[in-house]
Structure 1
Amino acid sequence: MRLNDLDERIVHALAEDARRSYADIGQEVGLSAPAVKRRVDRLRADGAITGFTVRVDPAALGWETEGVIELYCRRNTSPEAIHRGLSRYPEVASASTVTGEADAIVQVFAADMRHFERVLERIAGEPFVERTKSVLVLSPLLRRYGSGAPR
């Protein structure tokens, strides 16, 4: 589904602050509150909007260390097998298959270095993993959350 300009503006407004009122968004995009609500309901029904959530700083929950793990998997490992294996780790914030030498990259949050090391060891021990390569994040410079392509 490709969004038209008006729907895209509504999605961007919600991505900036999902708690904004329909009236406030309507004022920004030139629609009434009921018209915005109808469009949001349609976008949800069509699957363009998949839900509403809150963004929490991981450090506020005690997750002070962030790292990225490159996974190099055994032959014929499916993306589904990687997903199943990684979904058991609450420390895994995201995982994606990628092009290049690695088969997947995994974003991990941990309480501290020792915790990160334990998670890395456990992931490296998964039966589908041949080897790993990891880096630690020093300072996140830019993060965008679900607002789609830049305007």
Structure 2
Amino acid sequence: MDDVDQKLISALRHDARASLSDLAIGLGVSRTTVRARIERLRASGDIVGFTVVLRGDTARDPVRGLMMLGIEGRGTDRIIRQLGGLSAVRAIHTTNGRWDVIVEIGTPTLEDLDRVLAQIRRFDGIANSETSLLLNTWKSGS
């Protein structure tokens, strides 16, 4: 994948409905080149599909945060199961480094987020945690 492919993918991420002509002008290449590159990227599996983001998708969780968890002992699998049972948990990631698990949380209000955080902190085996509110999302993958 070369620089033009990277720029094309970036442009498609910004607006997947952009016309071939608009993409060509933005990239400084021909319309035919854009079409051929999109077809090649799809055929190779680099582009696996296109999606739509609805207003409701962004309004679903007005309050979002990342909770980083340090887990003592060998309780990670149990804690992941417990986290998976919480309706406010959007994603659970295991990781390396200082934190063992990173949890994406979405709630309607700050008060709801506070309740979920308190509930998770009470799980047996949580050694420590740190939470960051997500203020804005510039790019989100599916």
TM-score, normalised relative to structure 2: 0.67
* Number of aligned residue pairs: 137
The AA in structure 2 aligned to 1:133 is S
Task: Find 2:12's aligned residue among 8, 14, 21.
Answer: 14
Separation (CA, whole Å) in 1 of partners of 2:2 and 2:111: 48
- Structure 1, gaps ≥5 residues long: none
Seen in structure 2, the aligned counterparts of structure 1 residues 146 and 99 have a Cα distance that, compared at 3 Å, is same
2:34 equivalent to 1:36: yes
Question: Deviations for 1:97-133, whole angstroms, at most 9, x for unmatched residues?
Answer: 333221121221211134324544665677xx72152
Structure (1 or 2) with the larger CA radius of gyration? 2
The answer for the alignment partner of 1:105 in structure 2 is: 102
Q: Percent identity?
A: 28
Equivalent residues in 2 for 1:58-97, closer than 5 Å: 61-73=59-71, 74-75=73-74, 77=76, 82=80, 91-97=88-94
The AA in structure 2 aligned to 1:145 is K
Deviation of residue 87 (structure 1)? 5.8
What secondary structure is seen at the aligned counterpart in 1 of 2:125? strand
The AA in structure 2 aligned to 1:135 is T
Deviation of residue 68 (structure 1)? 1.5
Deviation of residue 14 (structure 1)? 0.6
2:139 equivalent to 1:130: no
C-alpha root-mean-square deviation of aligned residues, in Å? 3.6
Separation (CA, whole Å) in 2 of partners of 1:76 and 1:45: 43
Which aligned runs of 4 or more in structure 1 are off by greater than 6 angstroms?
A: none
- Structure 2, gaps ≥5 residues long: none
Deviation of residue 11 (structure 1)? 0.5
Task: Find 1:145's aligned residue among 122, 139, 142.
Answer: 139
